Amino acid sequence: MKISQKGIDFIKHFEGCKLEAYLDAGSVPTIGYGHTTVTTMGYKITQTQADQLLKEDLRITEILVNRLEINLNQNQFDAIISFVYNCGIGNFKKSRLLRLIKEYPDNSQIVNEFKKWRKGGGKVLPGLERRRMAEAVLYFTGKGVEDEV
């Protein structure tokens, strides 16, 4: 599967875009829409470069999620891509969230599993709380940020 435009817009909304490198909540140098690979402080990019980095990062994230062979509809896939893009494939692979999705893809406990992933740099972050709730809504209803999640 591939992420939809709704999913891309969802990620852009929650990541935001910064064209100059900054330290994220975990003190990791970051640029564009949450790009962290080979980013150093002081580095600057254009909007076009930020869009390209996101496209490449999402392609890799899609490959990693597709390798897990989970049966998902488009909304579910978009929500999981957002989660993995933000939290990492390693965290997703060892999470109860993945186990629930594989065994019981419509289980309401999935909402609670999304909500558990709300910390950055060891602190609960309101932005991550909003994102995880929005991912759960996207997963179950297909409503994205344009639908006022």
* The pLDDT value given to residue 120: 84
Is residue 77 pLDDT above 50, yes or no? yes
Q: What is the CATH number of domain 5-147?
A: 1.10.530.40
Is residue 148 pLDDT above 70, yes or no? no
Show the tokens assigned to 114.
Answer: 């999304």
Residues acting as catalytic residues: 15
Give the span between the Cα atoms of 117 and 108, in whole angstroms. 16
Residue-wise pLDDT tens digits, 81-137: 999 999 999 999 999 999 999 998 888 899 999 999 998 888 899 999 999 999 999
Residue-wise pLDDT tens digits, 9-62: 999 999 999 999 999 888 899 999 999 988 899 999 999 999 999 999 999 999
